[in-house]
Protein backbone atom coordinates (compact mmCIF):
# COMPACT_ATOMS: atom_id res chain seq x y z
CA UNK A 1 0.00 0.00 0.00
CA UNK A 2 1.34 3.46 -0.85
CA UNK A 3 2.56 5.41 2.15
CA UNK A 4 0.06 8.19 1.60
CA UNK A 5 -3.00 6.00 0.91
CA UNK A 6 -6.01 6.21 3.21
CA UNK A 7 -5.72 4.00 6.26
CA UNK A 8 -8.90 2.00 6.65
CA UNK A 9 -8.67 0.82 10.24
CA UNK A 10 -8.46 3.40 12.98
CA UNK A 11 -8.96 3.82 16.67
CA UNK A 12 -12.32 5.39 17.63
CA UNK A 13 -12.35 9.09 16.85
CA UNK A 14 -12.38 11.61 19.65
CA UNK A 15 -15.19 14.20 19.40
CA UNK A 16 -14.66 16.95 16.86
CA UNK A 17 -16.34 20.31 16.27
CA UNK A 18 -17.03 21.75 12.85
CA UNK A 19 -18.05 25.05 11.30
CA UNK A 20 -19.19 25.76 7.76
CA UNK A 21 -18.57 28.70 5.45
CA UNK A 22 -21.03 29.82 2.78
CA UNK A 23 -21.10 32.68 0.32
CA UNK A 24 -24.16 34.91 -0.17
CA UNK A 25 -26.33 33.91 -3.15
CA UNK A 26 -26.64 36.09 -6.27
CA UNK A 27 -29.93 34.74 -7.61
CA UNK A 28 -33.09 32.99 -6.36
CA UNK A 29 -31.72 29.68 -7.75
CA UNK A 30 -28.47 30.13 -5.85
CA UNK A 31 -30.43 31.06 -2.74
CA UNK A 32 -32.39 27.81 -3.03
CA UNK A 33 -29.23 25.72 -3.34
CA UNK A 34 -27.60 27.60 -0.43
CA UNK A 35 -30.58 26.77 1.80
CA UNK A 36 -30.56 23.17 0.65
CA UNK A 37 -26.92 23.02 1.79
CA UNK A 38 -27.67 24.76 5.12
CA UNK A 39 -30.61 22.41 5.77
CA UNK A 40 -28.46 19.37 5.05
CA UNK A 41 -25.53 20.48 7.22
CA UNK A 42 -27.40 22.12 10.15
CA UNK A 43 -28.30 18.78 11.82
CA UNK A 44 -24.54 18.13 12.23
CA UNK A 45 -24.62 20.77 15.00
CA UNK A 46 -21.90 23.12 13.71
CA UNK A 47 -20.32 25.45 16.29
CA UNK A 48 -21.23 28.24 13.85
CA UNK A 49 -21.76 28.89 10.15
CA UNK A 50 -20.16 31.89 8.49
CA UNK A 51 -21.16 33.95 5.47
CA UNK A 52 -18.49 35.68 3.38
CA UNK A 53 -18.34 39.33 2.36
CA UNK A 54 -17.75 39.98 -1.33
CA UNK A 55 -14.67 41.78 -2.60
CA UNK A 56 -14.95 45.54 -2.00
CA UNK A 57 -18.09 45.09 0.07
CA UNK A 58 -20.02 44.08 -3.05
CA UNK A 59 -22.25 41.70 -1.10
CA UNK A 60 -22.99 43.93 1.90
CA UNK A 61 -26.78 43.55 1.58
CA UNK A 62 -26.71 39.90 0.54
CA UNK A 63 -24.34 38.89 3.34
CA UNK A 64 -26.53 40.73 5.84
CA UNK A 65 -29.75 39.20 4.50
CA UNK A 66 -28.30 35.68 4.54
CA UNK A 67 -26.96 36.02 8.08
CA UNK A 68 -30.22 37.59 9.31
CA UNK A 69 -32.21 34.73 7.78
CA UNK A 70 -29.97 32.20 9.53
CA UNK A 71 -30.73 33.96 12.83
CA UNK A 72 -34.47 34.02 12.11
CA UNK A 73 -34.96 30.55 10.71
CA UNK A 74 -32.40 28.26 12.33
CA UNK A 75 -30.95 27.50 15.74
CA UNK A 76 -27.36 27.64 14.45
CA UNK A 77 -25.07 30.53 15.35
CA UNK A 78 -24.04 32.64 12.38
CA UNK A 79 -20.81 34.60 11.90
CA UNK A 80 -20.71 37.48 9.43
CA UNK A 81 -17.48 38.15 7.50
CA UNK A 82 -16.60 41.83 7.23
CA UNK A 83 -13.74 43.65 5.47
CA UNK A 84 -12.28 47.17 5.58
CA UNK A 85 -12.24 47.59 1.78
CA UNK A 86 -13.72 50.66 0.08
CA UNK A 87 -15.73 51.85 3.06
CA UNK A 88 -15.42 54.59 5.65
CA UNK A 89 -15.22 53.72 9.32
CA UNK A 90 -18.75 55.10 9.75
CA UNK A 91 -20.10 52.81 7.02
CA UNK A 92 -18.37 49.77 8.50
CA UNK A 93 -19.59 50.70 11.99
CA UNK A 94 -23.16 50.92 10.65
CA UNK A 95 -22.84 47.39 9.27
CA UNK A 96 -21.53 46.17 12.63
CA UNK A 97 -24.40 47.87 14.49
CA UNK A 98 -26.94 46.35 12.11
CA UNK A 99 -25.51 42.90 12.86
CA UNK A 100 -25.79 43.52 16.59
CA UNK A 101 -29.41 44.66 16.12
CA UNK A 102 -30.17 41.50 14.10
CA UNK A 103 -28.89 39.32 16.94
CA UNK A 104 -25.52 38.42 15.37
CA UNK A 105 -22.73 38.10 17.92
CA UNK A 106 -19.81 36.76 15.88
CA UNK A 107 -17.83 38.59 13.16
CA UNK A 108 -14.98 37.25 11.01
CA UNK A 109 -12.89 40.44 10.75
CA UNK A 110 -10.66 40.82 7.71
CA UNK A 111 -8.71 43.53 5.96
CA UNK A 112 -9.86 42.25 2.55
CA UNK A 113 -8.09 42.08 -0.80
CA UNK A 114 -6.73 45.09 -2.71
CA UNK A 115 -9.39 46.62 -4.94
CA UNK A 116 -7.10 46.27 -7.94
CA UNK A 117 -7.08 42.50 -7.38
CA UNK A 118 -4.62 40.15 -5.74
CA UNK A 119 -1.04 41.09 -6.51
CA UNK A 120 -1.70 44.84 -6.55
CA UNK A 121 -0.87 47.10 -3.60
CA UNK A 122 -3.51 47.50 -0.90
CA UNK A 123 -4.67 51.07 -0.37
CA UNK A 124 -6.85 51.76 2.62
CA UNK A 125 -9.87 54.05 2.23
CA UNK A 126 -8.75 57.51 3.51
CA UNK A 127 -11.53 57.49 6.12
CA UNK A 128 -11.63 53.74 6.57
CA UNK A 129 -10.07 51.17 8.86
CA UNK A 130 -6.48 50.71 7.63
CA UNK A 131 -5.88 47.15 8.84
CA UNK A 132 -7.76 44.18 10.22
CA UNK A 133 -6.35 45.13 13.64
CA UNK A 134 -8.02 48.55 13.43
CA UNK A 135 -11.26 46.90 12.32
CA UNK A 136 -11.21 44.57 15.33
CA UNK A 137 -10.73 47.55 17.67
CA UNK A 138 -13.68 49.29 15.96
CA UNK A 139 -15.92 46.23 16.33
CA UNK A 140 -14.95 45.91 20.00
CA UNK A 141 -15.99 49.52 20.60
CA UNK A 142 -19.49 48.71 19.29
CA UNK A 143 -20.37 45.45 20.99
CA UNK A 144 -19.10 42.39 22.79
CA UNK A 145 -18.77 40.31 19.62
CA UNK A 146 -16.87 37.08 19.28
CA UNK A 147 -14.18 37.91 16.68
CA UNK A 148 -12.50 35.41 14.39
CA UNK A 149 -9.63 36.34 12.07
CA UNK A 150 -7.58 34.78 9.28
CA UNK A 151 -4.27 32.92 9.50
CA UNK A 152 -2.05 31.77 6.65
CA UNK A 153 -0.07 28.53 7.16
CA UNK A 154 1.81 29.18 3.89
CA UNK A 155 1.95 32.95 4.59
CA UNK A 156 -0.20 35.71 3.14
CA UNK A 157 0.95 36.57 -0.41
CA UNK A 158 1.77 40.17 0.66
CA UNK A 159 3.66 39.14 3.76
CA UNK A 160 7.47 38.99 3.95
CA UNK A 161 7.56 35.80 6.02
CA UNK A 162 5.54 33.46 8.19
CA UNK A 163 7.01 35.18 11.25
CA UNK A 164 5.75 38.55 9.96
CA UNK A 165 2.30 36.96 9.58
CA UNK A 166 2.47 35.66 13.14
CA UNK A 167 3.28 39.23 14.28
CA UNK A 168 0.09 40.37 12.51
CA UNK A 169 -1.86 37.52 14.11
CA UNK A 170 -0.57 38.52 17.54
CA UNK A 171 -1.62 42.15 16.91
CA UNK A 172 -5.10 40.91 15.95
CA UNK A 173 -5.31 38.85 19.15
CA UNK A 174 -4.15 41.81 21.27
CA UNK A 175 -6.95 43.83 19.63
CA UNK A 176 -9.55 41.22 20.65
CA UNK A 177 -9.61 38.26 18.24
CA UNK A 178 -10.39 34.96 19.95
CA UNK A 179 -10.12 32.46 17.09
CA UNK A 180 -8.16 32.20 13.84
CA UNK A 181 -9.36 30.27 10.80
CA UNK A 182 -6.72 29.31 8.26
CA UNK A 183 -6.54 29.73 4.54
CA UNK A 184 -7.01 26.30 2.98
CA UNK A 185 -3.99 24.06 2.46
CA UNK A 186 -3.47 20.54 1.13
CA UNK A 187 -0.25 19.48 2.87
CA UNK A 188 -1.01 19.10 6.56
CA UNK A 189 2.68 19.69 7.30
CA UNK A 190 2.17 23.40 6.46
CA UNK A 191 -0.54 23.71 9.11
CA UNK A 192 1.29 21.64 11.71
CA UNK A 193 4.53 23.63 11.28
CA UNK A 194 2.60 26.91 11.42
CA UNK A 195 0.95 25.76 14.67
CA UNK A 196 4.36 24.93 16.18
CA UNK A 197 5.70 28.37 15.25
CA UNK A 198 2.61 30.23 16.46
CA UNK A 199 2.51 28.35 19.78
CA UNK A 200 6.26 28.92 20.24
CA UNK A 201 5.58 32.66 19.80
CA UNK A 202 2.92 32.58 22.52
CA UNK A 203 -0.24 32.40 20.38
CA UNK A 204 -2.72 30.37 22.40
CA UNK A 205 -6.11 31.00 20.72
CA UNK A 206 -7.58 28.19 18.59
CA UNK A 207 -6.24 28.20 15.02
CA UNK A 208 -8.85 26.20 13.14
CA UNK A 209 -7.78 24.55 9.89
CA UNK A 210 -9.80 25.67 6.87
CA UNK A 211 -10.61 22.64 4.73
CA UNK A 212 -11.69 22.90 1.11
CA UNK A 213 -13.11 19.74 -0.45
CA UNK A 214 -11.96 19.88 -4.08
CA UNK A 215 -15.23 20.10 -6.00
CA UNK A 216 -13.41 21.11 -9.17
CA UNK A 217 -9.64 20.64 -9.31
CA UNK A 218 -8.90 23.23 -12.01
CA UNK A 219 -10.93 25.90 -10.27
CA UNK A 220 -9.41 25.14 -6.86
CA UNK A 221 -5.88 25.12 -8.28
CA UNK A 222 -6.50 28.51 -9.91
CA UNK A 223 -7.85 29.94 -6.67
CA UNK A 224 -4.96 28.44 -4.68
CA UNK A 225 -2.44 30.14 -6.93
CA UNK A 226 -3.97 33.54 -6.17
CA UNK A 227 -4.11 33.00 -2.42
CA UNK A 228 -0.63 31.58 -2.02
CA UNK A 229 -1.75 28.05 -1.11
CA UNK A 230 0.45 25.44 -2.78
CA UNK A 231 -1.04 22.63 -4.84
CA UNK A 232 1.12 19.52 -4.48
CA UNK A 233 1.85 17.37 -7.51
CA UNK A 234 0.24 14.33 -5.84
CA UNK A 235 -3.06 16.22 -5.75
CA UNK A 236 -2.85 17.12 -9.43
CA UNK A 237 -2.01 13.45 -10.17
CA UNK A 238 -5.13 12.27 -8.36
CA UNK A 239 -7.38 14.34 -10.59
CA UNK A 240 -5.39 13.74 -13.79
CA UNK A 241 -7.53 12.81 -16.77
CA UNK A 242 -10.82 13.46 -14.94
CA UNK A 243 -11.70 16.87 -16.38
CA UNK A 244 -14.72 15.40 -18.16
CA UNK A 245 -15.65 12.89 -15.48
CA UNK A 246 -17.41 14.73 -12.67
CA UNK A 247 -18.71 11.56 -10.98
CA UNK A 248 -15.21 10.07 -10.48
CA UNK A 249 -13.85 13.49 -9.49
CA UNK A 250 -16.38 13.59 -6.64
CA UNK A 251 -15.32 10.17 -5.37
CA UNK A 252 -11.67 11.21 -5.47
CA UNK A 253 -12.50 14.52 -3.78
CA UNK A 254 -14.22 12.72 -0.92
CA UNK A 255 -11.22 10.40 -0.50
CA UNK A 256 -8.75 13.31 -0.51
CA UNK A 257 -10.75 15.32 2.06
CA UNK A 258 -11.16 12.24 4.27
CA UNK A 259 -7.46 11.54 4.15
CA UNK A 260 -6.63 15.12 5.10
CA UNK A 261 -9.03 15.48 8.03
CA UNK A 262 -8.35 12.03 9.50
CA UNK A 263 -4.62 12.73 9.43
CA UNK A 264 -5.24 16.03 11.26
CA UNK A 265 -7.34 14.16 13.85
CA UNK A 266 -4.36 11.83 14.32
CA UNK A 267 -2.33 14.97 15.08
CA UNK A 268 -4.79 16.02 17.78
CA UNK A 269 -6.86 18.53 15.77
CA UNK A 270 -10.45 18.72 17.02
CA UNK A 271 -11.96 21.74 15.22
CA UNK A 272 -12.44 22.06 11.47
CA UNK A 273 -13.80 24.90 9.32
CA UNK A 274 -15.16 23.75 5.96
CA UNK A 275 -15.27 25.98 2.89
CA UNK A 276 -18.50 24.49 1.55
CA UNK A 277 -18.80 26.46 -1.73
CA UNK A 278 -22.53 26.29 -0.85
CA UNK A 279 -22.64 22.54 -1.51
CA UNK A 280 -23.31 20.02 1.20
CA UNK A 281 -22.53 16.59 -0.22
CA UNK A 282 -18.74 16.34 0.09
CA UNK A 283 -18.68 18.23 3.38
CA UNK A 284 -21.47 16.06 4.80
CA UNK A 285 -19.59 12.89 3.84
CA UNK A 286 -16.34 14.20 5.32
CA UNK A 287 -18.11 15.12 8.58
CA UNK A 288 -19.66 11.64 8.69
CA UNK A 289 -16.16 10.17 8.52
CA UNK A 290 -15.19 12.46 11.41
CA UNK A 291 -17.88 10.72 13.47
CA UNK A 292 -20.54 13.42 13.26
CA UNK A 293 -24.16 12.30 13.05
CA UNK A 294 -27.32 14.38 12.48
CA UNK A 295 -29.25 15.65 15.48
CA UNK A 296 -32.79 16.42 14.30
CA UNK A 297 -33.34 19.30 16.76
CA UNK A 298 -30.61 21.28 14.95
CA UNK A 299 -32.47 21.20 11.66
CA UNK A 300 -33.11 24.51 9.95
CA UNK A 301 -36.77 25.49 9.71
P1 LIG B 1 -4.41 40.46 7.59
O2 LIG B 1 -4.20 39.35 8.56
O3 LIG B 1 -4.97 41.70 8.10
O4 LIG B 1 -3.02 40.73 6.88
C5 LIG B 1 -2.93 41.43 5.64
C6 LIG B 1 -1.61 42.13 5.53
O7 LIG B 1 -1.73 43.36 6.26
C8 LIG B 1 -0.44 41.42 6.14
O9 LIG B 1 0.19 40.57 5.26
C10 LIG B 1 0.45 42.59 6.49
O11 LIG B 1 1.28 42.86 5.40
C12 LIG B 1 -0.46 43.78 6.66
N13 LIG B 1 -0.35 44.36 8.04
C14 LIG B 1 0.70 45.03 8.49
N15 LIG B 1 0.54 45.43 9.75
C16 LIG B 1 -0.64 45.01 10.15
C17 LIG B 1 -1.35 45.12 11.38
N18 LIG B 1 -0.89 45.77 12.44
N19 LIG B 1 -2.55 44.52 11.44
C20 LIG B 1 -3.04 43.88 10.41
N21 LIG B 1 -2.41 43.77 9.21
C22 LIG B 1 -1.21 44.32 9.07
N23 LIG B 1 -11.87 38.16 1.73
C24 LIG B 1 -13.04 38.83 1.44
O25 LIG B 1 -13.03 39.77 0.64
N26 LIG B 1 -14.23 38.43 2.03
C27 LIG B 1 -14.31 37.41 2.91
O28 LIG B 1 -15.39 37.09 3.41
C29 LIG B 1 -13.09 36.71 3.24
N30 LIG B 1 -13.09 35.68 4.14
C31 LIG B 1 -11.92 35.08 4.47
C32 LIG B 1 -11.94 34.07 5.46
C33 LIG B 1 -10.76 33.42 5.83
C34 LIG B 1 -10.81 32.36 6.90
C35 LIG B 1 -9.53 33.77 5.18
C36 LIG B 1 -8.27 33.04 5.54
C37 LIG B 1 -9.50 34.78 4.22
C38 LIG B 1 -10.67 35.45 3.86
N39 LIG B 1 -10.69 36.48 2.92
C40 LIG B 1 -11.87 37.14 2.60
C41 LIG B 1 -9.45 36.87 2.21
C42 LIG B 1 -8.74 38.09 2.86
O43 LIG B 1 -9.58 39.22 2.82
C44 LIG B 1 -7.46 38.35 2.07
O45 LIG B 1 -6.55 37.32 2.20
C46 LIG B 1 -6.81 39.71 2.33
O47 LIG B 1 -5.79 39.92 1.34
C48 LIG B 1 -6.15 39.87 3.68
O49 LIG B 1 -7.04 40.12 4.68
P50 LIG B 1 -6.75 39.48 6.14
O51 LIG B 1 -7.63 40.07 7.15
O52 LIG B 1 -6.72 38.02 5.99
O53 LIG B 1 -5.25 39.95 6.32
Residue 108 confidence (pLDDT) above 50: yes
Nearest protein CA to atom 23 of ligand 1, as residue = 112
Nearest protein CA to atom 39 of ligand 1, as residue = 112
Residue of 168, 225, 272 to mutate, ligand 1, most atoms within 8 A of C-beta: 168
Cα 231 to ligand 1 centre (Å): 21
Residue 56 confidence (pLDDT) above 90: no
Kindly report the pTM of this predicted structure: 0.94
Residue 22 pLDDT: 98
Residue 255 pLDDT: 93
Residue 21 falls in the annotated catalytic set: yes
> Mean pLDDT over residues 105-121, rounded?
91
Cα 110 to ligand 1 centre (Å): 5
Residue 14 confidence (pLDDT) above 90: no
Q: Residue 58 — very low, low, confident or very high, per pLDDT cuts 50/70/90? A: confident
> Mean pLDDT over residues 39-53, rounded?
97
Residue 180 confidence (pLDDT) above 60: yes
Task: List phi, psi (to 5°) of 230.
Answer: -80, 150
CATH of the domain at 159: 3.20.20.220
Residue 10 pLDDT: 62
Nearest protein CA to atom 15 of ligand 1, as residue = 168
Residue 67 is assigned to a structural domain of this protein: yes
Residue of 156, 164, 166, 190 to mutate, ligand 1, most atoms within 8 A of C-beta: 156
**Mean pLDDT score of the chain:** 93
Could you tell me if 269 and 262 are in contact, meaning their C-beta atoms sit under 8 angstroms apart?
no
Residue 48: CB partners within 8 Å, gap ≥ 6? Answer: 19, 76, 77, 78, 79, 106
Give the range of the structural domain holding residue 240, as residue numbers without chain letter.
2-290
Measured CA to CA in angstroms, residue 182 lies from 102, 185, 230 at distances of 27, 8, 14
Q: Could you tell me which residue, 218 or 10, shows the higher pLDDT?
A: 218
Cα 112 to ligand 1 centre (Å): 5
Cα 248 to ligand 1 centre (Å): 35
Question: What number does the ligand 1 atom closest to the CA of 169 have?
Answer: 2
Residue 252 is assigned to a structural domain of this protein: yes
**Residues contacting ligand 1 via CB (< 6 Å):** 52-53, 55, 81, 83, 108, 110-113, 131-133, 150, 156, 158-159, 168, 171, 181, 183, 210
Residue 117 pLDDT: 82
Could you tell me if 300 and 38 are in contact, meaning their C-beta atoms sit under 8 angstroms apart?
yes
Nearest protein CA to atom 53 of ligand 1, as residue = 111
The one catalytic residue in 21, 31, 154, 259 is 21
Percent of residues, the chain, with pLDDT higher than 90: 86
Domains in the chain: how many in total? 1
Residue 297 is assigned to a structural domain of this protein: no
Cα 152 to ligand 1 centre (Å): 9
Q: Residue 122 — very low, low, confident or very high, per pLDDT cuts 50/70/90? A: very high
Q: Residue 88 — very low, low, confident or very high, per pLDDT cuts 50/70/90? A: very high
Cα 19 to ligand 1 centre (Å): 20
Residue 124 is assigned to a structural domain of this protein: yes
Nearest protein CA to atom 33 of ligand 1, as residue = 150
Q: Could you tell me which residue, 10 or 177, shows the higher pLDDT?
A: 177
Q: Residue 23 — very low, low, confident or very high, per pLDDT cuts 50/70/90? A: very high
Residue 299 is assigned to a structural domain of this protein: no
Residue 160 confidence (pLDDT) above 70: yes
Residue 300 is assigned to a structural domain of this protein: no
Residue 301 is assigned to a structural domain of this protein: no
Residue 167 is assigned to a structural domain of this protein: yes
Amino acid sequence: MAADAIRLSRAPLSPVRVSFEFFPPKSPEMEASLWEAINRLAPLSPSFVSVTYGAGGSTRERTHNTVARIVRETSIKPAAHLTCVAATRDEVDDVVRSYWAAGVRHIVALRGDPQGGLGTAYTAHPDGYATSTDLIKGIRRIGDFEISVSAYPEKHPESASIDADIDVLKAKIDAGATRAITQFFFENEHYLRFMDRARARGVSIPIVPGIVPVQNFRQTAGFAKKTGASVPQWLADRFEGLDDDAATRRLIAAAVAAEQVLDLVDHGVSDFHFYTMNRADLVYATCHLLGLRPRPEQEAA
